[in-house]
Amino acid sequence: MYDPKSLKAEEFINHEEIMDTLSYAEANKNNAALIDSLIEKARLRKGLTHREASVLLACDMEDKILEIYDLAEQIKKDFYGNRIVMFAPLYLSNYCVNGCVYCPYHHQNGHIPRKKLTQEDIVREVTALQDMGHKRLAIEAGEDPVNNPIEYILECIKTIYSIKHKNGAIRRVNVNIAATTVENYHKLKEAGIGTYILFQETYHKESYERLHPTGPKHNYAYHTEAMDRAMEGGIDDVGLGVLFGLELYKYEFAGLLMHAEHLEAVHGVGPHTISVPRIKHADDIDPSAFDNGISDDIFAKICALIRISVPYTGMIISTRESKAVREKVIRLGVSQISGASRTSVGGYCEPEPEDESSEQFDVSDKRTLDEVVRWLMEMGYIPSFCTACYREGRTGDRFMSLCKSGQIQNCCHPNALMTLKEFLMDYASPATRAIGEKMIAQELNNIPKEKVREIARAHLAEIENGQRD
Ligand code: SAM
């Protein structure tokens, strides 16, 4: 039907195909034989197409949904073990020339204080994040060619990587900035970024244009083809996402999987991560402009289906979600979470008074990093601050082959334990440390290779004696 290789992203992820997919899914939502066969196919851990996954999303037979949840949980365990990677967002600037109707940074918003971090501010903010124990950041900025040109973003990245902290440096900077040119993506690659993240917001072109009425972001094709330009610029880890709540979720879900299919077909590697943000209350936003909010149950179903449809893709959830929701979706497939986030510019050093807030949206999970780390371990997850893949060049398809070869348990598992040990030694409260030490002792036994286990034991002893990466 549609050949993903010869079509541009915008042509491939097209309205007609999505609408046809939704009709096919609706017509088959009670087709038990088809649904069983799709669940069986997903058990092979090779993923599902957007049409197949859409049938499962439309299905509301309780027993089948429970089967999907069990499978999602199993696939997550097989590919990601019980590790959860930790990160924090760092807001550089809220200057923005776009008119996105759901975002308080939109340029008509006259009462939000506009702020941009200086390089000195960045040193302070990053030091505050390092003092908590963070090693991996996602930088965020509004789109403004005058206030936040690419040179500013590059300078910020350079500053972040150069900051010396007594417990080691920031080891990975992921970047969430507006769609840009191949040349600028190349510069970001040269600056040593990890993943380039860009949310599509919505795959519904007409709604996209209505929700982004002014500014460069209005251009749907330019936005939708950004990941292709990023890959052309040499960035092989890209992160997709839609902002759930703007459009009908079934539409977005099909679009998101089509985007992943497009990247895999054209570039030989699918998205490194998929984020699943839901729209939140924010300053100067009229909620009636979008009323497609989804329930926690639908949200969980989407997460489980992403997990079984693109098994090798990491899934990210932010502090937009509450502790209870995070608990549910971590089990079903999420592999990375943020902790102790501030969504205002400069917010890690100076929390702002409510009425003068420059924050982007309300955060639901307001716990400290120590609390989040302890909570994860209490549920049996290993909080990981590891960035080894990126530092050793295991990005793009090289990361995917590590995942596919099943070697993750001999590689990521010991690395996660070592970074957890560092966190326990340098930052944790006594209660967190006690749980963590017990967990490390138990989890060492889950490293399959005897030799790797020995090496991990030796490194843990070195960390105990004060050695740092
Ligand atoms: N300015 C960049 C762009 O246009 O892609 C990215 C940075 S922006 C700070 C990051 C993301 O925040 C956006 O892509 C959008 O999905 C999300 N966002 C904006 N307003 C939001 C809201 N009210 N609730 C939740 N997320 C929101």
Model confidence over 347-356: pLDDT tens digits? 999 876 665 5
Ligand 1 atom index nearest CA of 280: 24
Predicted confidence at residue 282, as pLDDT, reads 83
Query: In terms of DSSP bridges, do strands 238-241 and 314-317 run parallel, antiparallel, or are they unpaired?
Result: unpaired
For ligand 1, whether the C-beta of 277 sits within 6 Å is yes
- Here the tokens at position 460 are 């843990």
SS (H, E, C) 62-88: HHHHHHHHHHHHHHHHHHHCCEEEEEE
ipTM above 0.90, yes or no: yes
Cα of 95 from ligand 1 centre, angstroms: 13
Give the residues across from 434 on adjacent strands.
Answer: none
- The residue that leads in pLDDT, 320 or 15, is 15
Q: Give the model confidence (pLDDT) of 163-181 as tens digits.
A: 999 888 898 999 999 999 9
User: What is the CB neighbour count within 10 angstroms for residue 400?
Assistant: 19
More confident of the two residues 177 and 282: 177
Q: Does ligand 1 lie within 6 Å of residue 90's CB atom?
A: no
Q: Is the predicted pLDDT of residue 391 greater than 60, yes or no?
A: no
* pLDDT tens digits along 241-258: 999 999 999 999 999 999
Are 240 and 274 in contact by the 8 Å Cβ rule? The answer is yes
Q: Which residue has the higher pLDDT, 73 or 361?
A: 73
369: its two tokens:
């990093």
At 411, is the pLDDT very low, low, confident or very high (cuts 50, 70, 90)?
Answer: confident
> Which atom number of ligand 1 is nearest to the Cα of residue 285?
23
Closest ligand 1 atom to residue 241 Cα is 16
Band of residue 291 on the pLDDT scale cut at 50, 70, 90: confident
DSSP annotation of 194: S
Contact 464, 441 (CB under 8 A): no
Q: Ligand 1 pocket check: which of 96, 244, 360, 365 to mutate, most ligand atoms within 8 Å of Cβ?
A: 360
Render 34-60 in DSSP notation, one character per residue. HHHHHHHHHHTTS---HHHHHHHHH--
Q: Are 409 and 81 in contact (CB under 8 A)?
A: yes
pLDDT at 126 over 90: yes
3-state secondary structure of 149: coil
- Are the C-beta atoms of residues 22 and 250 closer than 8 Å to each other? yes
Residue 279 Cβ < 6 Å to ligand 1: yes
**C-beta of residue 348 within 8 angstroms of C-beta of residue 368:** no
- If you average pLDDT over every residue of the chain, what do you get? 92
- The CA-atom distances, in angstroms, between 91 and each of 105, 127, 367, 408 are 12, 14, 19, 32
pLDDT band at 30 (very low <50, low <70, confident <90, very high): very high
Q: 157 near 175, Cβ under 8 Å? A: yes
Amino acid identity of 400? M
pLDDT at residue 459 tops 70: yes
pLDDT at 160: 98
143 Cβ closer than 6 Å to some ligand 1 atom:
yes
Residue 390 clears pLDDT 60, i.e. is over it: no
Task: Find out whether the beta carbon of 198 lies less than 6 Å from any atom of ligand 1.
Answer: yes
Statement: residue 3 has pLDDT above 90: no
Distance CA 126, CA 121 (A): 8
pLDDT value at residue 407:
64
Nearest CA owner, ligand 1 atom 18: 103
Strands 172-176 and 314-317: unpaired
Ligand 1 centroid to residue 197 C-alpha, Å: 11
Q: Ligand 1 pocket, 178 CB below 6 A?
A: yes
Stretch 290-308: mean pLDDT: 94
User: Is a pLDDT exceeding 90 seen at residue 389?
Assistant: no
Confidence check: pLDDT of 210 > 60: yes
Nearest to 381 by CA among 429, 341, 337: 337
Between 3 and 53, name the one with better pLDDT.
Answer: 53
- What pLDDT is recorded for position 284? 84
Asked whether residue 429 carries a pLDDT value surpassing 80, the answer given is yes
Span from the CA of 456 to the centroid of ligand 1 (angstroms): 40
Out of 76-90, 234-248, 353-367, pick the least confident.
353-367
Q: What's the pTM? A: 0.94
Please tell me if the CB atom of residue 319 comes closer than 6 angstroms to any atom of ligand 1: no
Residue 238 one-letter amino acid: V
Tell me if 102 CB under 6 Å of ligand 1.
Answer: yes
Residue 395 is predicted with a pLDDT of 62
Cβ contact 51:21 at 8 Å: yes
